[in-house]
Amino acid sequence: MTGDEVFTVRIEEIAAGGAGLARRGGKPVFVEGSAPGELVACRLSEERRSWARAELLEIAEASPDRIEPRCGICGGCNLQHIRYEAQLAAKTAILKTAFERIGGFSPPEPAVFPSQPWEYRNRMQFHRINGKLQGAALRGGGSGGAFGLKARKSGSVVPVADCPIADPGIREALRQSAEGAAAIIPPPGKDRFTVYARGGLFLSEGGKRRGQVTLLNRSLTLDAGLFFQSNGAMLERLIVDLRDIAAAGADGLMADLYCGVGTFACFLADLFLRTELVEKNKSALALARENLAKTGAGATAECFALSGDDWAALKTGAAPCLFIVVDPPRQGLSPSLSAWLAAKGPPLLACVSCDPATLARDGGILRRGGYELTELRLYDFYPQTAHIESLAVFRK
């Protein structure tokens, strides 16, 4: 295939990352913006030995699942041209396939929990745009520049005056900023910054950073500069399910690894005699202590400003955990931590994941160590995008 050649392919499915997958001469070809079942004309944009990417030029036969996108400004919502039900089906297939291809085993059929498809996103990250911009550029409240969202697969920043997946509080702040008000102010010296909005609360790294958010009738302190889940409604559903799962291992010691500001521990600690929170980010761990103290479980909790690897090294000869919840970053568990869990982990282990590939990889290691994957759940934290959040429950 050459870069000037136009060819026609049939899209088989949506692949991890959101592009449509077709095959030409046996080679996988990934076509952004396509939908399953479509016959599309495209042009080669990148070719490797075992796969290729192609630019969508024309849809010869449209999928019945294709719909008109609401927005295409930044390209981050790369599934919005597909019906929401079909998005869920595609994500479910991606999750199952990851376990089969990477983990080396077939998982249980995932339970799927849909989200509100629009206006769901409570936490968003914006990027400063230096220099003068025309038209829809957002004035940063005298910050000396404008801000926007990163373009998909590009280093450029696209100015935005609205975002249909954003919480209504963020949408209103964007509109006000576009009209010249200082509703969203980039913090001095930062090219990337975060805002959070839910239920009337609005936090920003360039303004009011800390505040109280209510989850399941419980108040937690957040800081706009620290990680927190971006879909509050789905987070509440996940917490309820985690509590039901954790109850089976109650009464002993539990651990919350990669605990962040202590969200899970705040809702699970009362089920156990003792709780250990593990978080390398000291600022996040300080908030975790504060949040746990509000629940009354602070006296039975111990916090470790360590990586999961270093915490595991301390556990030699210590009382074993009956339940552990892990919520690692996209890279998944480190090799040493996954090996330790496989060999010395608790009877009940809950893995929250934002990447099916690394979850499947870690799941394969756990399975070889004697665990059984008994439940797999997909929580659609990010409708219109290819991001997949899931929960895997392992039992020894």
Residue-wise pLDDT for 220-248, tens only, equals 999 999 999 999 999 999 999 999 999 98
- Answer whether residue 345 is part of any domain: yes
- What CATH code is carried by the domain that includes residue 239? 3.40.50.150
- Answer whether residue 75 is part of any domain: no
DSSP letter assigned to residue 299: G
Judgement on whether residues 284 and 374 belong to the same structural domain of the protein = yes
pTM of the full structure:
0.93
Mark which of 157, 176, 208 sits at the end of a domain. 208
- What CATH code is carried by the domain that includes residue 37? 2.40.50.140
- Answer whether residue 83 is part of any domain: no
The number of beta carbons lying within 10 Å of the beta carbon of residue 134 is: 6
C-beta of residue 81 within 8 angstroms of C-beta of residue 69: yes
Mark which of 208, 243, 267 sits at the end of a domain. 208
Residue range 190-226, pLDDT digits in tens: 999 999 999 999 999 999 999 999 999 999 999 999 9
Q: What is the mean pLDDT of residues 64-72?
A: 95
pLDDT given for residue 249 in this prediction: 74
Judgement on whether residues 152 and 14 belong to the same structural domain of the protein = no
pLDDT given for residue 97 in this prediction: 98
Task: Indicate left, alpha or beta for 319 from its phi (over 0: left) and psi (-120 to 50: alpha).
Answer: beta
pLDDT given for residue 130 in this prediction: 73
Asked if residue 180 has pLDDT above 70, the reply is: yes
Q: What is the mean pLDDT of residues 173-194?
A: 91
Asked if residue 5 has pLDDT above 60, the reply is: yes
- Answer whether residue 217 is part of any domain: no
Q: What is the mean pLDDT of residues 3-16?
A: 92
pLDDT given for residue 317 in this prediction: 76
Judgement on whether residues 316 and 284 belong to the same structural domain of the protein = yes
- Answer whether residue 139 is part of any domain: yes
- Answer whether residue 80 is part of any domain: no
Q: Name the more confident of 297 and 281.
A: 281
Judgement on whether residues 161 and 283 belong to the same structural domain of the protein = no
Task: Indicate left, alpha or beta for 12 from its phi (over 0: left) and psi (-120 to 50: alpha).
Answer: alpha
Residue range 124-175, pLDDT digits in tens: 999 998 744 333 333 333 333 489 998 887 778 999 999 999 999 999 999 9
- Answer whether residue 349 is part of any domain: yes
pLDDT given for residue 140 in this prediction: 38
Judgement on whether residues 274 and 354 belong to the same structural domain of the protein = yes
Is the dihedral angle over the CA atoms 369, 258, 127, 77 positive or is it negative? positive
Residue 208 class from Cβ within 10 Å (0-12 exposed, 13-18 middle, 19+ buried)?
A: exposed
Residue 341 class from Cβ within 10 Å (0-12 exposed, 13-18 middle, 19+ buried)?
A: buried
Mean pLDDT of the chain: 93
Judgement on whether residues 192 and 101 belong to the same structural domain of the protein = no
Q: What is the mean pLDDT of residues 69-80?
A: 92
Judgement on whether residues 338 and 263 belong to the same structural domain of the protein = yes
Judgement on whether residues 108 and 135 belong to the same structural domain of the protein = no
pLDDT class of 2 with cuts at 50, 70, 90? low
The number of beta carbons lying within 10 Å of the beta carbon of residue 71 is: 16
pLDDT given for residue 139 in this prediction: 39
Q: Which helix (H) or strand (E) holds 290?
A: helix 282-295
| Domain enclosing residue 158, as ranges | 123-208
Q: By C-alpha distance, which of 395, 253, 391, 272 is closest to 327?
A: 391
- Answer whether residue 213 is part of any domain: no
Residue range 309-326, pLDDT digits in tens: 999 999 877 889 999 999
Residue range 94-119, pLDDT digits in tens: 999 999 999 999 999 999 999 999 99
| Composition of the chain by helix, strand, coil, percent to 5 | 25, 30, 40
Residue range 15-47, pLDDT digits in tens: 999 999 999 999 999 999 999 999 999 999 999
pLDDT class of 3 with cuts at 50, 70, 90? low
pLDDT given for residue 103 in this prediction: 97
- Cα 245 from Cα 340, distance rounded (Å): 22
**The tokens of 300 are what?**
């039975």
State the total domains in the chain. Answer: 3
Judgement on whether residues 61 and 106 belong to the same structural domain of the protein = no
Judgement on whether residues 37 and 14 belong to the same structural domain of the protein = yes
Judgement on whether residues 110 and 38 belong to the same structural domain of the protein = no
Length of the chain as a residue count: 396
Judgement on whether residues 32 and 135 belong to the same structural domain of the protein = no
